[in-house]
């Protein structure tokens, strides 16, 4: 039997899909396109990899490399998937994909006492979409067979995407013409994103494919190649790993654990991609790269135009999501999140509405949405990072209104969950229960409130909100004071590890 560990690279903020994708809720956790199951891209990625299990392939823990700030988003979406044991490797700061894969390889190399052989890692980003899962699974199984057949542990397999156009936004893989026993070709070289003339030549040649960013290799192969080509990344990653901490996550309803590399040591790791650090250096070295071709409707959803391409279009070429009405319009994407959006006489437009921002762009310029995000960042605008409705490990809050010296929030707390024991220096709060049962710590008092009851939390008072019931708790919170920022929180106790 071949033992495989799925690795999901779940970093990144998807800035080209703003305003729907933001650093606080990036695109991999969004439901954008797919198989009709209403699953996020992250959930789809996990489900696809798990389909490669067979009579000859067994799957171990799914290794998910994600940002510390996104751990509860990932955990909540994992709860919706069945019978998947996971380890979440939490990066304190983004350092690109080479350090991310290094964490997974270090975990795989020494964590499973039941498996003595060197495990094979199947690595995929969390933010891609595939239209033909059956073809994808077969190609990935071929990649596993390619790696398994090399007893020297020096082979890396990669999925190359059959190009459908002279795309200038992807890197390319040049393959050999001789096909191997597992539908594989030797990779002769990797090439950077070409200009249009070069991309057209690649398309005509037939031996150039798009680089998917999906790899199959043994954990030891990655660590050995990294030590050879980028010993600085290897040493820094190993140092952060040696000082890691581990704790259980998720409770009784999910089998998962959090692994945290040392924060300061991780910050010292050079930021580099898998391709630049190792893969592109392998052709011509002792580490052979082989490619299996994939023609399965792959898309990395790198911009809104890509979302339009994979969406369900009507007879006029329009893709609509949410409460959208179009008249005399063609080849446009309209995404409504919170209200009616209408368009008349438009063509080739992207229109994306959220509760606090609206994007209008020409489809051909959708890659340039990143410029808007850069502008928002320079102005320190909250809309760059957070939606009006913000996910929290205990539930969510929605800032429905605010003005000078006041803010109104709608808050939902999951059954059995609680906010931290906290206080505020600059604001007081009024809480009104609209649904469920609230257990409220207010100074020295602990009280229970039900629907239509309320309480007042003075400025400087230690307090906590908890849901002791089996149904979601909803309250309306009215804040008043001289400063209402989210950073005016002093946490004394917190079950999610956020107290200082």
Domains in the chain: ranges and CATH: 2-294 (3.90.550.10), 313-374 (no CATH), 389-493 (2.60.120.10)
Nearest to 129 by CA among 204, 254, 17: 17
Q: pLDDT tens digits for 69-119?
A: 899 899 999 988 888 889 999 999 999 999 999 999 999 987 544 445 689
Nearest to 439 by CA among 456, 460, 417, 461: 417
Q: What is the pLDDT at residue 111?
A: 56
Question: 267: how many CB neighbours lie within 10 A of its CB?
Answer: 12
Q: pLDDT tens digits for 125-149?
A: 999 999 999 999 999 999 999 999 9
The least confident of 131-135, 478-482, 487-491, 494-498 is 494-498
Q: What is the pLDDT at residue 441?
A: 97
Q: What is the pLDDT at residue 11?
A: 86
Q: What is the pLDDT at residue 22?
A: 93
Q: What is the pLDDT at residue 115?
A: 46
Task: Please check whether residue 147 is in contact with residue 157, taking contact to mean a CB–CB distance below 8 angstroms.
Answer: yes
- What lies within 8 Å, CB to CB, of 481 at 6+ separation is 405, 424, 426, 427, 428, 459
* Sheet containing 445-449: order of strands: 445-449, 438-442, 463-466, 421-423, 490-493
Q: What is the pLDDT at residue 66?
A: 96
Q: pLDDT tens digits for 390-430?
A: 989 899 999 999 999 999 999 999 999 999 999 999 999 99
pTM: 0.90
Going by pLDDT thresholds of 50, 70 and 90, the confidence category of residue 500 is low
Percentage with pLDDT > 70 across the chain: 96
Q: pLDDT tens digits for 219-277?
A: 999 999 999 999 999 999 999 999 999 987 766 667 788 999 999 999 999 999 999 99
The structure tokens 């010292």 sit at 268
The least confident of 74-83, 115-124, 312-321 is 115-124
3-state secondary structure 53-112: CCCCEEECCEEEEEEHHHHHHHHHHHHCCCCCCEEEEEECCCCCHHHHHHHHHHHHHHCC
- Burial (Cβ within 10 Å: 0-12, 13-18, ≥19) of residue 72: middle
């Amino acid at each position: 039997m071949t033992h495989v560990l799925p690795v999901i690279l779940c970093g990144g903020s998807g800035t080209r899909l703003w305003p729907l994708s933001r650093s606080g809720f990036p695109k991999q956790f969004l439901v954008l396109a797919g198989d009709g199951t209403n699953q996020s891209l992250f959930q789809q990625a996990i489900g696809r990899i798990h389909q490669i299990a067979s009579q000859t392939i067994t799957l171990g823990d799914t290794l998910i490399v994600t940002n510390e700030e996104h751990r509860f988003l990932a955990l909540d979406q994992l709860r919706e998937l069945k019978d998947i044991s996971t380890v979440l490797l939490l990066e304190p700061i983004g350092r690109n994909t080479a350090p991310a894969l290094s964490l997974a390889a270090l975990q795989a190399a020494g964590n499973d006492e039941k498996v003595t052989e060197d495990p094979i890692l199947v690595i995929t980003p969390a933010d891609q979409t595939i239209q033909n899962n059956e073809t994808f699974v077969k190609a990935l199984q071929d990649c596993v067979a390619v790696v398994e057949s090399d007893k020297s542990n020096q082979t890396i397999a990669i999925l190359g995407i059959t190009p459908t156009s002279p795309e200038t936004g992807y890197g390319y893989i040049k393959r050999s013409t001789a096909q191997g026993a597992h539908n594989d070709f030797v990779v002769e070289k990797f090439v950077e994103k070409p200009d249009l003339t070069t991309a057209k030549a690649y398309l005509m040649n037939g031996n150039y494919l798009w680089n998917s960013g999906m790899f199959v290799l043994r954990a030891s192969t990655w660590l050995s190649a990294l030590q050879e080509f980028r010993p600085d990344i290897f040493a820094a990653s190993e140092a952060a790993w040696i000082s890691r901490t581990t704790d259980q996550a998720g409770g009784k309803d999910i089998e998962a654990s959090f692994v945290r590399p040392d924060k300061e040591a991780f910050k010292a790791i050079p930021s580099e991609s898998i391709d630049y650090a190792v893969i592109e250096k392998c052709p011509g070295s002792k580490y052979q790269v082989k490619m299996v071709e994939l023609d399965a409707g792959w898309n990395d959803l790198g911009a809104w135009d890509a979302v339009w391409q994979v969406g369900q279009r009507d007879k006029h070429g329009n893709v609509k999501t949410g409460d959208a009405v179009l008249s005399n319009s063609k080849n446009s994407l309209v995404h409504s999140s919170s209200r009616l959006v209408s368009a008349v006489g438009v063509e080739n437009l992207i229109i994306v509405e959220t509760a606090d921002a609206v994007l209008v762009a020409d489809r051909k310029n959708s890659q340039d949405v990143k410029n808007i995000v850069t502008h928002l960042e320079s102005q320190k605008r909250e809309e760059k990072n957070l939606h009006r409705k913000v996910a929290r490990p205990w539930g969510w809050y929605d800032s429905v209104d605010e003005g000078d010296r006041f803010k109104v929030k709608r808050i939902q707390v999951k059954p059995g969950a609680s906010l931290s024991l906290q206080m505020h220096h600059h604001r007081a709060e009024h809480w009104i229960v609209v649904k469920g049962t609230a257990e409220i710590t207010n100074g020295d008092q602990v009280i229970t409130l039900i629907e239509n009851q309320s309480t007042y939390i003075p400025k400087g008072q230690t307090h906590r909100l908890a849901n002791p019931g089996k149904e979601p708790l909803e309250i309306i919170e009215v804040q008043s004071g001289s400063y209402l920022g989210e950073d005016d929180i002093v946490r004394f106790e917190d079950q999610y590890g956020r107290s200082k």
